[in-house]
Amino acid sequence: MADVQQLILAGADERDLSKLAEYQAIGGYGALAKARGMTREQVIEEISTATLRGRGGAGFPMGRKLSLVQPPEVAGKPTYVVANADESEPGSFKDREILRRVPHRFLEGCLIAAHAIGSKHVFVYIRGEYAAEYEVLKTAADEVRDADLLGDVTIVLHRGAGAYICGEETALLDSLEGKRGQPRPRPPFPPISGLYSAPTLINNVQTLANAPIIIERGAKWYTSIGPEASPGTVVFSLSGNVERPGNYELPLGTTLRELIYDVGGGVAGGRPLKAVIPGGSSVPVFTPDEIDTTADFDSIQAAGSYLGSAAIIVIDDRACMVQLGLRVEKFYMHESCGKCTPCREGTRWMVSLLEKIETGRAEHSDLDLLRGICDRVEGRSLCALGDFAVWPIKSYIDKYRDEFEAHIEQGGCPYGGASSLEGVVAPIDQHAHAPVAEVPA
Amino acid sequence: MSSLRKKIRKAAKPYPDRRSGVMNGLRLAQQHYGGWLPPKALAEVADALDLTPAHVQSVASFYDMYHLAPVGEHVVEVCTNVSCALVGAQQVVEAFEQELGVRVGETSEDGKVTLRTIECAGGCGYAPVVVVDHRYREPTRPEDVPGILAELGDG
């Protein structure tokens, strides 16, 4: 049985940690004081030794990112900390819980990061839909300011307006600068040239919330939790056809089987398991015989997928994999920013071919064409959205090919309307492209 | 100076570059103009921040939460992304369609409610998620739909 071990959410079950006094009662902002008594290099060294890997999806070590950011005196201009609170990966709802329940642990992490790179400016980019979480965070940030904990640092909360792509770091920076959120070519990477062309540290909410824990208890203690290459805990988001969906904080290295069956209580209604998405809708799917993989960055990658944002979606036997592919692909088509041709055009082609297969109008050559498009879109865009649009579909075809072929051979969906995903209306289906007009008087 | 213009300029102050105020500006303008952005709202945001209307329009048309066409007094949004879809989001959509007598993307005849489907709202563990006027209702079942609409009718 997997043991729930709380570091990020520690104390939030017993106390209302959205309040500064409560957070300080359990030692909150002690790590900030400790960090400010250390040199920048010492703080970076501690986080590097802790092997803290980014929790936003890519798993990049935070310590390395910190060490890459030019200090303001070298850059000759102000530098920035940007917190990525634009959580939008389908299946992921962990940052929302962190923002709502432990906003001060996150803000303390932002201030420690600011100290580590010598920055005076923190921007938090919070997704527009999170209105309630914005209010909690704003109250918390005001408390921090009024308690004189900011030092000479300012914290600005920036609200997004509904665009998945803005979770991608360079698109987020463009959005923050007041433009359409479209990714930038890299290099230069944000630590060299980020927000307003200045050195910028950009990290996910959960990554930053780990910083106070590492500073307070030390890297040595932190690395004793979970596997050596991915220490610490992760807040796993469990959703879909599972008995007890929700967020569960566990050490990295718990198996998917334990997560689904022990922690989540198994497939809802005791139905057979058909598929598991281990890291949000953008990653390759696992079949039931792959769920003994341990959920950490390296093990999942070795098994052919990604831990991503640790969003685990459980899918039971009632789901048609072609319909799942269609729903997922419509999302990526909707969210493609339009900048790179392979992603913009490829997602449209993929949706149209998936529709053809689902409605029984396809031939076997259409399936080959679809699979071929996957290979020609992957790796050919400025950001990973182009890959995200391909990885799931590729894996559905490769692992559930018989289901795709059944659609073609039977001239329609073998589920005959009984699939759990039957008839789902994706937002892109309702786009009216209404002309801009004044309301008649 | 109009009160909207003042608000937009104030919200842009914390940024080193005034251009960063465009998203706050559009949000404030949308609130001011009853939930959507008519051309004159875009012009006002542009004017307040010394930007061209074309730039402001390019930003407004990029993000899902800015409405460039009129919406109803209330906006009901149903998430139909994977986690919600797997546990019955479409049945919730259909319950709203039936009660309101509209299809998704449309506004009820009395102008009261616009029904939309949205991409993942970040409530996957409490699915299906419905967002009413920016407030999450998690989870929502088809049988909850008449009650939700009755609340809007009283409000």
Chain A closest CA to B95's CA: distance in Å? 13
Contact B23 A175 (CB under 8 A): yes
Chain A closest CA to B89's CA: distance in Å? 8
Contact A327 B82 (CB under 8 A): yes
Q: A283: domain CATH number?
A: 3.10.20.600
Most A CBs within 10 A among B119, B131, B133, hence the mutation to make, goes to B119
Chain B closest CA to A299's CA: distance in Å? 24
Among A316, A331, A362, give the residue marking a domain's end: A316
Contact B104 A425 (CB under 8 A): yes
- Same domain assignment for residues A307 and A358: no
Question: Chain B contacts of A154, Cβ < 8 Å?
Answer: 14
- Same domain assignment for residues A343 and A380: yes
pLDDT at position A179, please?
A: 97
- Domain assignment present for A426: no
Residue A122: C-alpha distances to residues A95, A149, A175, B20, B91 (Å):
18, 14, 16, 14, 43
What is the SS3 assignment for A145-196? HHCCCCCCCEEEEEECCCCHHHHCHHHHHHHHCCCCCCCCCCCCCCCCCCHH
Specify the number of domains making up chain A.
3
Q: How many CB atoms lie within 10 A of CB A365?
A: 10
- Same domain assignment for residues A28 and A169: yes
**CB–CB of A354/A325 below 8 Å?**
yes
- Same domain assignment for residues A34 and A142: yes
B/e letters for A35-46, b = 16+ CB within 10 Å, e = fewer, are beebebeebbbb
**CB–CB of A99/A85 below 8 Å?**
yes
State in Å, rounded, how far the first CA of chain B is from the last one.
Answer: 33
pLDDT at position A320, please?
A: 98
Question: Chain B contacts of A92, Cβ < 8 Å?
Answer: 120, 122, 124
- Domain assignment present for A241: yes
Question: Chain A contacts of B14, Cβ < 8 Å?
Answer: 154, 156
- Same domain assignment for residues A78 and A94: yes
- Closest residue on chain B to A247 (Cα): B125
- Amino acid at site B111: G
Q: A132: domain CATH number?
A: 3.40.50.11540
- Domain assignment present for A40: yes
Among A201, A222, A243, give the residue marking a domain's end: A222
Question: Chain A contacts of B68, Cβ < 8 Å?
Answer: 434, 436
Question: Chain B contacts of A240, Cβ < 8 Å?
Answer: 82-83, 86-87, 124
Q: What is the pLDDT along chain A (441 residues), one digit of tens a residue?
A: 456 679 999 999 999 999 999 999 999 999 999 999 999 999 999 999 999 999 988 889 999 999 999 999 999 999 999 999 999 999 999 999 999 999 999 999 999 999 999 999 999 999 999 999 999 999 999 999 999 999 999 999 999 999 999 999 999 999 999 999 999 999 999 999 999 999 999 999 999 999 999 999 999 999 999 888 889 999 999 999 999 999 999 998 899 999 999 999 999 999 999 999 999 999 999 999 999 999 999 999 999 999 999 999 999 999 999 999 999 999 999 999 999 999 999 999 999 999 999 999 999 999 999 999 999 999 999 999 999 999 999 999 999 999 999 999 999 999 999 999 999 999 998 765 444 444 444
- Domain assignment present for A13: no
pLDDT at position A227, please?
A: 85
Chain B closest CA to A91's CA: distance in Å? 6
Chain A closest CA to B101's CA: distance in Å? 16
Contact A91 B90 (CB under 8 A): no
Q: Which of B40, B39, B62 is nearest to A436 (CA)?
A: B39
Q: What does the block give as tokens for A88?
A: 């939008």
Q: What pTM was estimated for this model as a whole?
A: 0.96
- Domain assignment present for A436: no
Chain B closest CA to A49's CA: distance in Å? 32
- Same domain assignment for residues A205 and A245: no
- Structural domain boundaries enclosing A355: 321-421
pLDDT at position A432, please?
A: 53
Contact A277 B82 (CB under 8 A): yes
**CB–CB of B86/A319 below 8 Å?**
yes
Contact B125 A96 (CB under 8 A): no
Q: A363: domain CATH number?
A: 1.20.1440.230
Among B40, B89, B122, the residue with its CB nearest the CB of A424 is B89
Q: Which of B91, B145, B107 is nearest to A424 (CA)?
A: B91
Residues A58-112 pLDDT 10s: 889 999 999 999 999 999 999 999 999 999 999 999 999 999 999 999 999 999 9
Contact B85 A434 (CB under 8 A): no
Kind plus residue range of the DSSP H or E element containing A376: helix A364-377
Q: Which of A352, A297, A298, A304 is nearest to A325 (CA)?
A: A352
pLDDT at position A107, please?
A: 98
- Same domain assignment for residues A47 and A180: yes
- Closest residue on chain A to B51 (Cα): A178
Residues A364-423 pLDDT 10s: 999 999 999 999 999 999 999 999 999 999 999 999 999 999 999 999 999 999 999 999
The one-character DSSP state at A241 is: S
- Closest residue on chain B to A324 (Cα): B82
Question: Which domains occur in chain B, in start order?
Answer: 3-60 (1.10.10), 74-154 (3.40.30.10)
Question: Chain B contacts of A176, Cβ < 8 Å?
Answer: 20
- Same domain assignment for residues A325 and A309: no
> Cα–Cα distance between B62 and B39 in angstroms, integer?
15
- Same domain assignment for residues A137 and A201: yes
Residues B9-64 pLDDT 10s: 999 999 999 999 999 999 999 999 999 999 999 999 999 999 999 999 999 999 99
- Domain assignment present for A391: yes
- Same domain assignment for residues A161 and A268: no
Question: Chain A contacts of B116, Cβ < 8 Å?
Answer: 427, 430
Among A298, A316, A334, give the residue marking a domain's end: A316
Question: Chain B contacts of A131, Cβ < 8 Å?
Answer: 134-135
- Same domain assignment for residues A356 and A238: no
- Closest residue on chain B to A419 (Cα): B86
Question: Chain B contacts of A317, Cβ < 8 Å?
Answer: none
Q: How many CB atoms lie within 10 A of CB A76?
A: 8
- Domain assignment present for A433: no
Tell me: ipTM over 0.85.
Answer: yes
**Is omega for the bond preceding B128 within 30 degrees of 0, making it cis?**
yes
Contact B23 A328 (CB under 8 A): no
- Same domain assignment for residues A165 and A44: yes
